[in-house]
Structure 1
Amino acid sequence: MQSKVFEYTFTVPKSAIDDMDHVNNVVYLQWIQDIAKKHWESKTNTEIRNTYVWVVLNHYIEYHHPAFENDTITLHTWIDHHRGVKSERHTKIINAHTQKVLASAKTMWCLLSKETLRPIRITDEISNLFV
């Protein structure tokens, strides 16, 4: 069930830069979480967002090339597959000018009932939103 790729483009702010004058590794992680949230919000309505919430079980990140202040970055994310309460999401962070992949990540998410904060099976209703 690989979903369509969701994209978001932005310019690297000064606040993302560390003492080595490139984007800090922790910022990449924040971007990975931010794009997942944007993708979820783009596909769901308020009722669904008031019923379900996602939590991260783990991240696997590979850093390939640095990004710098004022670089134009495109984030690509998609859901590779899901089973039960878990969903595997992939993200690529790409320099929009050079098309170099700066970082790639795989994140395992778990769907929870927002009311009980207990894991809940991913329904066809949720799955079909991302096909």
Structure 2
Amino acid sequence: MEWALPNPFVIDLQVASEAIDVYQHVNNSEYLRWVEQISWAHSEALGLSLERYQSLDRAMVVHRHELDYLAPAYVDDKLQLATWIVACDGRFSLTRRFQLKRVSDGKALLNARTRFACVALTSGRPKRLPVEYQRIYGDAVVAE
């Protein structure tokens, strides 16, 4: 698969019938669910699991989503979703990009971007990125 940026973290998806809406294609909310799914999977692959977030009393929460729906997906389509960390300010935020493609024809179905802010889990208040987050997420940044 050819991707917008090099070295993506990729997950495979197959569209289930539950994802289909009244227009007979994947409901918009499903794309957002997949964006969340790959974000967690990538963080875990980098060594930052939910348990690690809890032990550091920090979480990366969504500040802003931008989703550009380019083409529909249908039941049983095999898809690949890629993500990259494209910015990490080392203080309070990081940004991910996403690209969703259909395997059979390589067609891009979604381009997305999410900006995350760091908060304390116990209070929900903004907090600086722990040094561990700065190092792990910072080392994973891919230039756009």
The two structures have a TM-score, normalised by structure 1, of 0.88
Aligned to 2:124: 117
Aligned to 1:48: 52
In 1, the alpha carbon distance for the partners of 2:71 and 2:65 equals 18
* Residue identity in the other structure for 2:68: E
User: Contact 1:91/1:106 (CA < 8 Å) preserved in 2?
Assistant: yes
- CA-to-aligned-CA distance 1:73-100 (integer Å, 9 cap, x gap): 1110111002221111111111122111
Aligned residues: 130
Find 1:28's aligned residue among 24, 27, 31: 31
Aligned to 1:81: 87
1:46 Cα shift? 5.8
In 2, the alpha carbon distance for the partners of 1:7 and 1:125 equals 23
In 2, the alpha carbon distance for the partners of 1:117 and 1:102 equals 34
User: Contact 2:17/2:75 (CA < 8 Å) preserved in 1?
Assistant: yes
1:3 Cα shift? 9.1
1:53 Cα shift? 1.3
Aligned to 2:78: 72
* Residue identity in the other structure for 2:32: L
**Structure with the largest fraction of strand:** 1
1:127 Cα shift? 3.2
Is 1:91 the equivalent of 2:98?
yes
User: Contact 1:3/1:79 (CA < 8 Å) preserved in 2?
Assistant: no
User: Contact 1:60/1:107 (CA < 8 Å) preserved in 2?
Assistant: yes
1:35 Cα shift? 1.0
- Cα 1:78/1:93, change in 2 over 3 Å: same
Q: For 1:3-22, what aligned pairs fall within 5 Å after superposition? A: 4-22=7-25
Q: Which runs of 5+ in 1 are unaligned?
A: none
* Residue identity in the other structure for 1:23: V
Percent identity of paired positions between Structure 1 and Structure 2: 28
User: Contact 2:43/2:49 (CA < 8 Å) preserved in 1?
Assistant: no
Q: Which runs of 5+ in 2 are unaligned?
A: none
SS in 1 for 2:106: coil
SS in 1 for 2:37: helix
1:48 Cα shift? 2.3
